[in-house]
Copies of this chain bind each other. A is one copy, B any other.
Amino acid sequence: MISQKAKYALRALVSLARIEQPGKALFISDIAEEQSIPKKFLEQILLDLKRHGIVVSKRGKSGGYLLLKPASEITYGEVLRIIDGPIAPLPCLSRIAYRRCDDCLDETACEIRQVFARVTEATRDVLDKTTIADSLASAEGLPDPALVD
Protein backbone atom coordinates (compact mmCIF):
# COMPACT_ATOMS: atom_id res chain seq x y z
CA MET A 1 0.00 0.00 0.00
CA ILE A 2 1.22 3.47 -0.82
CA SER A 3 0.81 6.04 1.94
CA GLN A 4 -1.98 8.56 2.19
CA LYS A 5 0.70 11.20 1.89
CA ALA A 6 1.80 9.88 -1.50
CA LYS A 7 -1.79 9.80 -2.70
CA TYR A 8 -2.17 13.43 -1.65
CA ALA A 9 1.06 14.38 -3.39
CA LEU A 10 0.01 12.80 -6.66
CA ARG A 11 -3.43 14.34 -6.52
CA ALA A 12 -2.00 17.78 -5.77
CA LEU A 13 0.23 17.43 -8.82
CA VAL A 14 -2.78 16.48 -10.91
CA SER A 15 -4.48 19.68 -9.77
CA LEU A 16 -1.44 21.72 -10.71
CA ALA A 17 -1.15 19.96 -14.05
CA ARG A 18 -4.69 20.90 -14.96
CA ILE A 19 -3.94 24.62 -15.00
CA GLU A 20 -4.17 25.96 -18.52
CA GLN A 21 -2.49 29.38 -18.26
CA PRO A 22 1.29 29.20 -18.04
CA GLY A 23 2.67 30.96 -14.97
CA LYS A 24 -0.62 30.72 -13.09
CA ALA A 25 -0.20 29.45 -9.53
CA LEU A 26 -2.62 27.67 -7.22
CA PHE A 27 -2.95 28.41 -3.50
CA ILE A 28 -2.36 25.53 -1.14
CA SER A 29 -5.82 26.18 0.23
CA ASP A 30 -7.40 25.82 -3.21
CA ILE A 31 -5.70 22.50 -3.87
CA ALA A 32 -6.57 21.33 -0.37
CA GLU A 33 -10.23 22.12 -0.87
CA GLU A 34 -10.44 20.70 -4.39
CA GLN A 35 -8.85 17.41 -3.35
CA SER A 36 -10.11 17.15 0.23
CA ILE A 37 -6.63 17.20 1.71
CA PRO A 38 -5.95 18.63 5.21
CA LYS A 39 -4.35 21.99 4.43
CA LYS A 40 -1.50 21.89 6.95
CA PHE A 41 -0.59 18.40 5.85
CA LEU A 42 -0.56 19.47 2.22
CA GLU A 43 1.77 22.35 3.10
CA GLN A 44 4.40 19.85 4.21
CA ILE A 45 3.93 17.71 1.17
CA LEU A 46 4.29 20.57 -1.30
CA LEU A 47 7.31 21.87 0.55
CA ASP A 48 8.88 18.47 0.17
CA LEU A 49 8.09 18.35 -3.53
CA LYS A 50 9.55 21.81 -3.88
CA ARG A 51 12.80 20.82 -2.19
CA HIS A 52 13.08 17.98 -4.65
CA GLY A 53 12.55 20.18 -7.67
CA ILE A 54 9.09 19.05 -8.70
CA VAL A 55 7.22 22.30 -8.01
CA VAL A 56 8.04 25.93 -7.30
CA SER A 57 6.32 28.37 -5.02
CA LYS A 58 5.68 32.08 -4.93
CA ARG A 59 5.37 33.67 -1.51
CA GLY A 60 3.33 36.60 -0.34
CA LYS A 61 -0.15 37.79 -0.99
CA SER A 62 -0.60 36.49 -4.51
CA GLY A 63 1.58 33.46 -4.06
CA GLY A 64 0.92 29.82 -4.71
CA TYR A 65 2.43 26.74 -6.26
CA LEU A 66 3.09 25.64 -9.81
CA LEU A 67 4.90 22.81 -11.54
CA LEU A 68 8.60 23.32 -12.12
CA LYS A 69 8.67 21.03 -15.12
CA PRO A 70 5.97 19.91 -17.54
CA ALA A 71 3.56 17.29 -16.23
CA SER A 72 4.78 15.01 -18.98
CA GLU A 73 8.19 14.93 -17.32
CA ILE A 74 7.05 14.11 -13.79
CA THR A 75 6.84 10.38 -13.29
CA TYR A 76 4.89 8.53 -10.64
CA GLY A 77 8.11 6.80 -9.70
CA GLU A 78 10.00 9.91 -8.77
CA VAL A 79 7.12 11.29 -6.72
CA LEU A 80 6.70 8.03 -4.84
CA ARG A 81 10.41 7.79 -4.10
CA ILE A 82 10.36 11.32 -2.67
CA ILE A 83 7.32 10.78 -0.48
CA ASP A 84 7.38 7.08 0.41
CA GLY A 85 11.01 6.14 -0.12
CA PRO A 86 12.22 3.16 -2.12
CA ILE A 87 9.89 1.30 -4.42
CA ALA A 88 11.81 -1.96 -4.11
CA PRO A 89 10.08 -4.45 -1.79
CA LEU A 90 13.37 -5.54 -0.23
CA PRO A 91 16.10 -3.21 1.03
CA CYS A 92 18.72 -5.35 -0.70
CA LEU A 93 17.13 -4.49 -4.06
CA SER A 94 17.01 -0.73 -3.63
CA ARG A 95 19.41 1.62 -5.31
CA ILE A 96 18.42 4.72 -3.37
CA ALA A 97 18.40 2.95 -0.01
CA TYR A 98 20.36 -0.26 -0.39
CA ARG A 99 20.78 -2.26 2.79
CA ARG A 100 21.90 -5.82 3.19
CA CYS A 101 19.36 -8.13 4.80
CA ASP A 102 21.20 -8.90 8.02
CA ASP A 103 19.85 -12.45 8.14
CA CYS A 104 20.81 -13.20 4.56
CA LEU A 105 24.08 -15.06 4.28
CA ASP A 106 24.63 -15.05 0.53
CA GLU A 107 22.73 -12.38 -1.33
CA THR A 108 23.17 -13.78 -4.80
CA ALA A 109 21.91 -17.18 -3.68
CA CYS A 110 18.88 -15.74 -1.88
CA GLU A 111 15.82 -17.46 -3.29
CA ILE A 112 13.31 -14.77 -2.53
CA ARG A 113 15.51 -11.93 -3.74
CA GLN A 114 15.37 -13.25 -7.29
CA VAL A 115 11.61 -13.27 -7.24
CA PHE A 116 11.24 -9.78 -5.82
CA ALA A 117 13.77 -8.46 -8.28
CA ARG A 118 11.31 -9.42 -11.00
CA VAL A 119 8.45 -7.81 -9.11
CA THR A 120 10.34 -4.58 -8.80
CA GLU A 121 11.30 -4.55 -12.43
CA ALA A 122 7.66 -4.90 -13.40
CA THR A 123 6.57 -2.19 -10.95
CA ARG A 124 9.24 0.17 -12.09
CA ASP A 125 8.31 -0.43 -15.67
CA VAL A 126 4.95 1.16 -14.96
CA LEU A 127 5.85 3.82 -12.40
CA ASP A 128 8.92 5.22 -14.11
CA LYS A 129 7.19 5.39 -17.47
CA THR A 130 3.89 6.90 -16.40
CA THR A 131 3.75 10.66 -15.92
CA ILE A 132 1.26 12.99 -14.33
CA ALA A 133 0.28 14.05 -17.84
CA ASP A 134 -0.46 10.43 -18.81
CA SER A 135 -2.81 9.97 -15.92
CA LEU A 136 -4.59 13.23 -16.71
CA ALA A 137 -5.29 12.10 -20.21
CA SER A 138 -6.64 8.74 -19.18
CA ALA A 139 -8.71 10.00 -16.30
CA GLU A 140 -12.12 9.69 -17.88
CA GLY A 141 -13.91 7.25 -20.05
CA LEU A 142 -11.84 4.22 -19.19
CA PRO A 143 -13.26 0.86 -18.15
CA ASP A 144 -13.13 0.12 -14.46
CA PRO A 145 -9.90 -1.71 -13.66
CA ALA A 146 -10.27 -5.23 -12.39
CA LEU A 147 -9.91 -5.74 -8.65
CA VAL A 148 -6.79 -7.70 -8.17
CA ASP A 149 -6.68 -9.19 -4.72
Please judge, given known A-B contacts A95-B148, A119-B127, whether A89 and B2 are in contact too, CB under 8 Å. Answer: yes
Determine, out of A48-56, A58-66, A101-109, the stretch whose residues face the partner at the interface: A101-109
Residue of B nearest to A2 (CB): B89
Q: Which of A108, A142, A145 has the most CB of B within 10 A?
A: A145
Among A35, A139, A140: residue with most chain B CB under 10 A: A139
For the complex, count residues of A whose C-beta is within 8 A of B: 60
A98 — nearest CB in chain B belongs to which residue? B147
* Mask: chain A, 98-128; 1 = CB below 8 Å from B; 0 = not: 1001010001111111111111111111110
Whole-angstrom distance from the CB of A132 to the nearest CB of chain B?
A: 8
Let me know if B14 and A111 touch, CB within 8 A: yes
Q: Map CB proximity to B onto A128-149 as digits: 1 under 8 Å, 0 otherwise.
A: 0010001110111010111111
Q: Does A83 contact B (CB under 8 A)?
A: no
Q: Which residues of B contact A94 (CB under 8 A)?
A: 147-149
Give A1-33 as 1s and 0s: 1 = Cβ < 8 Å from B's Cβ atoms. 110000100110010000000000000000000
What B residues does A138 contact at CB under 8 A?
A: 111, 114
- A139 engages B109 (CB within 8 Å): yes
Q: Which of B36, B77, B145 contacts A149 (CB 8 A)?
A: B77
